[in-house]
């Protein structure tokens, strides 16, 4: 059972937009910033959003993040086949004194 | 571009020990928090441990506390994870990661090293 809660799956067709949600609590998302990672099993995870809504260089502006209270979201617009991957949210947890990840959302591009 | 290369993964029996290493291609990571994150088969990413830039402050997930020790040698641009009293449930691909953007903004990752705990 992950500390941060994500829906296990999401899907969309090429060109569509999709949103992935992440729910936490006052000790993690409520008081710290959220990062989002893209992961294809067997490869290195990739940071796509940090500090709630900032994109590292090289990440397309189709990826955007937001946070409200104890929840966060990752939105991907103009879906492309290469976006198919597992997506994880993460935040520092003050009570646990560590990083907590969501359980991951498997994004399928139909 | 900074590269991280993990090594040390192996097949080990329950109760055994391993030391993972993570070598960096440059010294810029010496200013960053460094983390270990693992991915067990069919499961999600799980944070294991982190160490601050100077190596004096560390944190661990409850599942590994007292068994794993994270350390770093900035002179050698290398991060370590000493793993003792290994359990079957520690089986996973272990990734090292450097955080440039805050405590959980891990922007550089290695390709992972596989630890299998089995009798």
Query: How buried is residue A27: exposed, middle or buried, by Cβ count under 10 Å (0-12/13-18/19+)?
Result: middle
Which three-class secondary structure state does DSSP give residue A104? coil
Residue in A54, A86, A99 nearest the CB of B35 = A99
A9-51: per-residue pLDDT in tens? 999 999 999 999 999 999 999 999 999 999 998 899 999 999 9
Residues B20, B48: Cα–Cα separation, whole Å? 13
Looking at the complex, does the CB of residue B30 fall below 8 Å from at least one CB of chain A? no
**Interface residue of A1, A33, A47, A48 to substitute, partner B, most B CBs within 10 Å:** A47
Question: How many angstroms from the chain centroid is the CA of residue A9?
Answer: 12
CA contacts within 13 A on the Cβ side of B44 = 25
Contacts of A54 in chain B (CB under 8 A): 101
Residues A64, A73: Cα–Cα separation, whole Å? 8
> What pLDDT was estimated at residue B27?
79
Residues A8, A83: Cα–Cα separation, whole Å? 16
Residues B21, A60: Cα–Cα separation, whole Å? 32
Tokens representing residue A107 in the block:
């994004």
Q: Does the structure show a pLDDT above 90 at A3? A: yes
B5-36: per-residue pLDDT in tens? 999 999 999 999 999 999 998 877 788 999 99
Chain A, residues 38-67, CB within 8 A of chain B, namely 39, 41-47, 50-51, 54, 56
Residue A76 and residue A62 in contact, taking contact as beta carbons nearer than 8 Å: yes
What's the gap in Å between the CA of A11 and the closest CA on chain B? 18
Averaged pLDDT score across all residues of chain B? 95
Residue in A56, A86, A100 nearest the CB of B47 = A100
- Calculate mean pLDDT across residues B70-78: 94
Cβ within 8 Å, pair A98-B95: no
Measured torsion, CA atoms of residues B51, A35, B67, B30, in degrees rounded to the nearest 10: -20
Looking at the complex, does the CB of residue B62 fall below 8 Å from at least one CB of chain A? yes
Averaged pLDDT score across all residues of chain A? 97
| Integer Rg of chain A from CA | 13
Q: Does the structure show a pLDDT above 90 at A8? A: yes
User: Confidence class of residue A70 from pLDDT cuts 50, 70 and 90?
Assistant: very high
Phi, psi of B115, deg, nearest 5: -110, 125
Residues B92, B93, B94, B98: is their CA dihedral positive or negative? negative
Q: Does the structure show a pLDDT above 80 at B95? A: yes
> What pLDDT was estimated at residue B66?
98
Looking at the complex, does the CB of residue A3 fall below 8 Å from at least one CB of chain B? no
Cβ within 8 Å, pair A45-B95: yes
> What pLDDT was estimated at residue B34?
96
B96-105: per-residue pLDDT in tens? 999 988 889 9
User: Confidence class of residue A1 from pLDDT cuts 50, 70 and 90?
Assistant: confident
């Amino acid at each position: 059972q992950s500390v941060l809660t994500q829906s296990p799956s999401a899907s969309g067709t090429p060109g569509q937009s999709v949103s992935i949600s992440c729910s936490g609590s006052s000790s993690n998302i409520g008081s710290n910033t959220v990062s989002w990672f893209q992961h294809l099993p067997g490869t290195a995870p990739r940071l796509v959003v940090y500090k709630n809504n900032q994109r590292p260089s090289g990440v397309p502006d189709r990826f955007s993040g937001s946070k409200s209270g104890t929840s966060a979201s990752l939105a991907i617009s103009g879906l492309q086949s290469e976006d198919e991957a597992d997506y994880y949210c993460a935040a520092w947890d003050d009570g646990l004194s560590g990083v907590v990840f969501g359980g991951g959302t498997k994004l399928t591009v139909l | 571009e900074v590269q991280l290369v993990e090594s040390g993964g192996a097949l080990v029996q329950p109760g055994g020990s391993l030391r993972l290493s993570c070598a960096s291609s440059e010294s810029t990571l010496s200013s960053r928090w460094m983390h270990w994150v693992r991915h067990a088969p069919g499961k999600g990413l799980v944070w294991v441990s982190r160490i601050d830039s100077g190596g004096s402050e560390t944190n661990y997930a409850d599942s590994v506390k007292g068994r794993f020790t994270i350390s770093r040698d900035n002179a050698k641009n290398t991060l370590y994870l000493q793993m003792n009293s290994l359990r079957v449930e520690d089986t996973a691909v272990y990734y090292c990661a450097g955080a440039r953007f805050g405590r959980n903004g891990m922007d550089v990752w290695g390709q992972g090293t596989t630890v299998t705990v089995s009798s």
